[in-house]
Amino acid sequence: MKFRFPRWLGRNLSTMLLAFILAIVVWVSAVTSADPNQEQTYLIPIEVIGLASNQEMISEIPDHFSLTLTAPSSILAHISKEASTILQAWIDLSGLEAGTHTLSIQYQITSDYHPVRVVEASPRNIEMNLEELIARTFIIKTNIQGDPNLGYQAGKPEWSQKEVVVSGRASQVNQVINVEATLDINDANETIEKNINLIPRDGNGNVVNNVSLNPAQISVTQPITLRGGYRNMVVKVVTTGQVATGYRQTSISVSPPNVMVFSTDPALIDQLPGYVETTPLDLTNAVDDIETSLSLSLPAGISVIGDPNVLVKVGIAAMEGNLKIIRLVEIIGLPPEYKAVVAPDTVDVILFGPLPLLDTLTESDVRVVLDVSDLAVGTYQLAPEVIILSERMKAEAISPSTLEVEISLLEPGDTAP
């Protein structure tokens, strides 16, 4: 009895294995029907690890790593929900020296999700260029550009710093030959205190970009003083006489407002009161603006640097006021077969303008008219018009502002207006 079982097993082993395989096939078929395999592509951001602190990546890495997977739909659904934690891709720069390297993109799928098969991964490799970051110290090359104003001199400038540290990629930093700071003192007439930007330049004088400077600016104090025997003086315009009656002086200006004077004897310059006067300008009976060139009155031994004359402008305007006048109303535009009666036949006009014009006003200078053109027989309320010959005067008010006019046909025996 104890030898019969193995013989039976041997006779039926192939049948049992076939039955087992068929059972597995049936089970896989059932599972697959309930949860069929599908294919899906995921875009995974690429992480960079191992980059040394004294290096910089010159090449750009791809925006993403593409990974195509095939798995049961339920597995893919779970992966899609938490792709950022389930799928990772990275490149490892640990221990790499500066230069160009071909690197494999590594990736990982969390082992909790099975079965999963990778169909495609792209890109497999990327080319990476690493460059060393360096820093160099330079002596700052300081420049003074231009010349101060006439009669002034520049002293020795004081710069806040003599050295600068230039840092960045080795290929950029090694282009730098010098670092410059330039101050422009052209036409300066007082001490300058200013912050100056530092400029890195290569051997051809071109600006080197993509480097960092520490400091990026330095300050400078540049003394600007008067030369001995020179002095900057304010110009004072001297006038005599009075403008015409009824007029007033509204302004006075001089160009240039100050001049540089010189003497071989500095003591003479020091004795000046701080201004120089023009030769007198006579304003007697002036009624219009004046523009003229005047010379300067200077003591012996003192001269003006440049043009010895200055341009003087004086504004003169008539004094203004008000005047009330009475004028008879004139009818215009009345056809010959009509007659018109206006009430009242005079109006008061308030004029505003220069007093000299108001004082010499004549009857014909101001008229008040009432235009009845195209009006038929009837009674109307009309506004009169004030006509002033001079544009420098204006009517501020008229009273009454509205007049009544009655238009009718001429009757036999009536005299035409």
| Grouped pLDDT means (10 residues each) for the chain, 417 residues | 54 65 57 72 93 90 91 88 89 92 91 83 92 95 92 93 95 95 94 96 94 96 90 91 88 92 88 89 93 93 91 90 91 90 91 89 92 90 92 89 89 65
- What dihedral angle (degrees, nearest 10) is formed by the CA atoms of 90, 92, 97, 103? -60
Sheet holding 117-122, edge to edge: 37-44, 65-72, 117-122
Q: Tell me whether residue 173 is exposed, middle or buried, using C-beta atoms within 10 angstroms of its C-beta: 0 to 12, 13 to 18, 19 or more.
A: buried
Q: Look up residue 337 and give its two tokens.
A: 């077969």
Domains observed in the chain: 37-123 (2.170.120.30), 133-226 (2.170.120.40), 232-318 (2.170.120.40), 320-409 (2.170.120.30)
The pTM score is 0.55
Q: Is the peptide bond preceding residue 215 cis, with omega within 30 degrees of 0?
A: yes
Is 71 within 8 Å of 38 (Cβ atoms)?
yes
Q: How far apart are CA 252 and CA 233, in angstroms?
A: 18
One DSSP character per residue, 241-281 reads S-PPTTEEEEEEEEESSEEEEE-SSHHHHHTS-SEEEEPPE
Is 159 within 8 Å of 183 (Cβ atoms)?
no
Pairing mode of beta strands 303-304, 258-262: antiparallel
Q: How far apart are CA 355 and CA 245, in angstroms?
A: 9
| pLDDT confidence of residue 79 | 87
- Which helix (H) or strand (E) segment holds residue 119: the answer is strand 117-122
| pLDDT confidence of residue 114 | 75
